[in-house]
Structures are given as C-alpha cells and as structure tokens.
Structure 1
Amino acid sequence: MIPSVPNPLPVPGPDTRIDLHAHSTASDGTLSPVELVRSAAEAGLDVVAITDHDTTAGWAPAVAALPPGLTLVRGAELSCRWYGVQPSIALHLLAYLFDPEAPELVSELARIRAAREVRAERIVDSLRADGIDVDWADIQARAAGGTVGRPHIAQALIRAGLVRTTNEAFEPRWLGWRYHAPKEDLDVFHAIRLVREAGGVPVFAHPRASRRGPVVPDALIVEMAAAGLAGLEADHEDHSPAEREHVRRLAAELGLTVTGSSDFHGEHKTVRLGAFTTSVASYERIVAAATGVPPVVAP
C-alpha cells in the first residue's frame, strides 16, 4: 500500500518542482491518469496535482501507478460561475485534498458532469445539423471513459480536417461562439463552501486570463477570500507578465497563497508539465490547510 503522509517533502530545497494543475483522460486531457503520473516523473517533477474537471475518477489509478519519488496531490477543477453581473462570468476553482466522499460536494459534481455530457451532445447535434461530419459515439469512445467536453469535440474537428489546432477550434466561427452552448456551473461562493466543508483547499485558477474572455473584478476576489478562498494561481500560460504580477500583488494584499501550474492537457495544449511551478512554501501552506485527504507519496 502506498503511504499517505501530511508533508511528503522530507528535504524540500530550491530545486523542488511542484506543478499543481494537470488533467487526464478522466476529464479532457489526452494522457490516462497512469500516463500522467509517469510523465510527471519523467518531466522531473517532485509533486504533481491531478485536477480533472468536476471529477475524482482519476485519483485511484494515479495513486496505484505513482512512480517512486513522486508525490501526488489529489484535486479537481470545479466549473463555477459568478452571477453578480449579467451576463454571468465563468471561473474555475482548483480544489485540493478534499474528502471525495463528502455527500453534498459529490452530488453537485455528479450534476455538473451530467450537464457537461448533455451540453457536448447538443453541440455535436448542432454541428451535424450544419452538415459537419462528427460522430457522437466516436467522440465518446475517444474520451476514454471521461466526461466529454469541448476539447474532445475540438479533436473531432481536427480529425475531420476542418481546423488545425485546438485553439482554432475555439475561435468564434466554431466552438467559441457559433457552436457554443451554455452549461451548468456551481455558484462560486457555494463551491468555496463545499470545498472547505469537505476539508479541501480552494484556489482560483488563472483569475486574470483575459485572453479567455471576461475576468472578474478584484472586488469579487476580495469577497471570495472572505468566504474561504485560500489562493490564486498566478503563473499560468494564459497570464501575461503584467497579469501575473497583478495576481501576486492582490494575493499579498489579501494574505492568499500564490501558485503556479502548467494546466497540462496533453495534446490538447502545447504547454508542458512543469512549465510553471509552485514554491515549496505555497505548497506547504496548502497541505497544512487541508483536512480532507493528504498527499500521497510513493515509497
């Protein structure tokens, strides 16, 4: 049995490499959980977090395959929304080390996953209605048991020769607007409460990624911090240098932990594991604040 310990970094040093945001085929990554942890070790990481969208399905296989010397942080990326403006703004919450059996959180995540599946099938139906030859059954099969999301549909468009890259598939003429469909999300304050009640640690993912669309005002992050938000992801490929610095300043003002992560998705993105990392001090703050499940370290 692989032991779990409160602090699996016995001698943390300046060269310790920690990536706290990575996806597997349990959601919309292209590597299985087993392949993800092996790739993390090959990339020279000491700690990696598995943070699939709205699911913990990848946890068990990742733990079972954990390479020697690698620490696994179990987490998820929750699909959230702020309803304080119209139109409302989508945002993502990284939830670390929460109890995967917390009833209310389990129920909400199941609801969100079911809604994702319905949304994806609706998008495929719209594409097919316009004569675009994408097959729902094939997309489901290639999702390898994970919940189908828009990146899976983007891959189908690439295979059909209609677009060259995932980024192109998300342009307005495709999934970005013309073939967009609304999805259900968690109210962000409700999500923060659920994560905290499950013993987890909530961190706001890529909070200033303006290239993705509208971002929430700093005033909302102040409210989120008061409600239990623990940290902000500053170093991310979708943040410009100025945006990263803005996030760091805000985190310092609010006493929040600062993280850095690759947001790795395999072939769905060009960013590599460990492209951005989290400091040992920030990692230790997250571990110390968690009461749900501990990190897992291979012997």
Structure 2
Amino acid sequence: MRIDLHAHSHVSDGTEPPAVLVASAKAAGLDVVALTDHDQTAGWQAAGEAALALGIGLIPGMEISCRSGAGVSVHLLSYLHDPHHPGLLEEIDKARNARIIRARRMVELLAEDYPVDWDLIARHAAPGATIGRPHIADALVTAGVVQTRTEAFSQVLTTRSRYYVGHYAVDAVKAVKLVRDAGGVPVFAHPVASARGRVVGQDTFEQMIEAGLLGLEINHRDNPEEGRQYLRALAKEHDLIVTGSSDYHGTGKPNTFGENTTSVEMLKRIIAAGTGSSPMGMPESF
C-alpha cells in the first residue's frame, strides 16, 4: 500500500485544485494521500468528495507555520484535527493575516526593481488562497525576471534578500499543544532540512515532544541522510510515529507523488490517535 502524507493544493501554494490533486495522487498509484495546505483547511471538502468518487483514501490535514523559541522556522503537520477548534483557528487566522501584510510589503519592495505589482501576484493565487512567496515567485516567472519558481526563491526571494520580510508564526511548542487539544496528530515536517535555512536544536525537539509531539517526517527529500539517522534514533527513543512524504505542490516544485511514503503501521497509529476529524474513502483494511 502506497501512502503519501504531505501535499499542497492551490488553496495554499500548490498549483492544483484539491480535487485535481486527489486525482493526481490516484494516477500516481497512491492508495492514501493527505491534504496539508499551509494554515488552511478550506480544501478538505472538495478533496474528500474526490477521494470518495475515485476510491482513494484521504487524510485531512494542515501544515502550520511555527517558530521555535530561538526564532527558527518550524513547520508542523497536523492530521485529523477539528478544523473548528477555536484556539487553533485563532492562531492560523493570525498567521494568514500576517502573511498577507508581509506579502504586500515584499511586493512593494520588489516593485522598486522589477515589473511586478499586487494585481499580477494576485492573478497567480486561487480565490481565497493566502498569497505568499510561491505566488510572488510565479509572478516573477510571468514577468520574465526568472525562469522557474525555484530560481525565484534562490535568487530573488531568499531570506537573505533585501526583499524578504518576516511574518508572525505561532510558537512551535504552543502549536503542538493546540493540535493535541483539537484532537489532531502533530508531526514535525522535514525537521532537519538544513538547505532551507537554520534548523532547531535538541532542546526544541525535547520541548515539542514533552508538549505532545507524536511524530517526525523523516523520509523527505530535504532531510539529509545524516539528519535522518539522528531522527530515527530520536523516534526510537520516544516511540514516535515515523512518516515519509513527497511534499507535493503540483508543478510548483519538482517533488513527485510517492517519492517517499509512510508505512501502513504508522498510518494506523495516526488514525488511532486522531479524534478531531475522520479519514475519508479509506481502503477496507483500515
């Protein structure tokens, strides 16, 4: 059974509508896929309907933008939480609003040097999507500034660029607690992805585990092998769920469905621990 627990639709920074994403997962030979848009659950219904129609399992999820106490960016995957939980909703609303303010300021700075404006960026985002750096990157491609989204991030939108603007993100330990309070299963996404920037230290892992972290996304293309070895030892020590995922974004990234997968045993642990919402269209073995 092929299980991929990390994918983004155009509700956040992917390029496919939720139903199309589910169809792509089915076409790629997956049996189960998770929809984990950034700070959004708006795609759950459409994805669930598509999953039921196509005969593929769907795990409703979300990727929460967080920050450690030391100021390091942390991404937390939440599976099967209650999408109406007030505490969690308050934090993701704050994050989305901060992203909009941040994006507008970045566009203002970029417009000083490149032929881009807010209207151009907005045309690259789906209705209701929170505009972020990926949409700005797509607009830079359209404007002929760069050739690809990846090039935009490495050359123009890097965190070291003068165009980069930070934004609010909930403390990672608080986010873990909120996900658990919402009946969800918190899994640390690509925890040692050093190519993306600074990664957290041992103290942050320990604090998140103490707060209720249940899993680590170990098999991910951005985790270097030496980091994976550390994560495997940590998972064994604390009996954590281990996942593998593609982090699929449609044509927004080179990541392909099923390039990393999660075992049936680990998915069963996620389903057993998640009480805030339910999987959809799961195979009979679940």
Give the alignment of 1:1-299 within 5 angstroms. Answer: 16-66=1-51, 67-83=53-69, 85=70, 88-130=71-113, 132-145=114-127, 146-171=129-154, 173-178=156-161, 179-297=163-281
Cα deviation, residue 243, structure 1: 2.0
Cα deviation, residue 294, structure 1: 1.2
Output the amino acid matched with 2:66: C
Give the SS at the match of 1:170: helix
- Paired with 2:282 and 2:32, the residues of 1 have a C-alpha distance of 11
Cα deviation, residue 298, structure 1: 6.6
- Paired with 2:181 and 2:100, the residues of 1 have a C-alpha distance of 27
Give every structure 1 segment of 4 or more consecutive aligned residues whose post-TM-superposition deviation is greater than 4 Å.
none
Check the 8 A contact 1:123/1:181 in 2, yes or no.
yes
Give the SS at the match of 1:275: coil
- Paired with 2:203 and 2:68, the residues of 1 have a C-alpha distance of 12
Cα deviation, residue 171, structure 1: 2.1
1:12 is aligned to none
Check the 8 A contact 1:63/1:296 in 2, yes or no.
yes
Give the SS at the match of 2:259: coil
Check the 8 A contact 2:32/2:282 in 1, yes or no.
no
Check the 8 A contact 2:218/2:242 in 1, yes or no.
yes
Output the amino acid matched with 2:116: V
Structure 2 residue runs of 5 or longer lacking an equivalent are none
Output the amino acid matched with 1:194: L
CA displacement, residues 78-134 of structure 1 (integer Å, 9 cap, x when unaligned): 000012x2xx1011000000001111111211111111111111111100022x111
CA RMSD of aligned residues (A): 1.4
- Paired with 1:123 and 1:267, the residues of 2 have a C-alpha distance of 23
- Paired with 2:104 and 2:219, the residues of 1 have a C-alpha distance of 34
Cα deviation, residue 156, structure 1: 1.0
TM-score under structure 1 length normalisation: 0.90
Cα deviation, residue 163, structure 1: 1.5
Output the amino acid matched with 2:87: E
Output the amino acid matched with 1:37: V
CA displacement, residues 123-177 of structure 1 (integer Å, 9 cap, x when unaligned): 11100022x1113123213211211110111111112221122222112544432
Residue range with higher mean Cα deviation, 232-241 or 157-166: 157-166
Output the amino acid matched with 2:97: A
Give the SS at the match of 1:258: strand
1:11 is aligned to none
Check the 8 A contact 2:31/2:57 in 1, yes or no.
yes
Output the amino acid matched with 2:227: E
- Paired with 2:212 and 2:282, the residues of 1 have a C-alpha distance of 31
Check the 8 A contact 1:68/1:298 in 2, yes or no.
no
Output the amino acid matched with 1:74: P
CA displacement, residues 176-225 of structure 1 (integer Å, 9 cap, x when unaligned): 32210011101111111110010000000000101111100123212211
Check the 8 A contact 1:26/1:147 in 2, yes or no.
yes
Corresponding pairs, count: 280
Check the 8 A contact 1:150/1:175 in 2, yes or no.
no
TM-score under structure 2 length normalisation: 0.94
Check the 8 A contact 1:258/1:282 in 2, yes or no.
yes
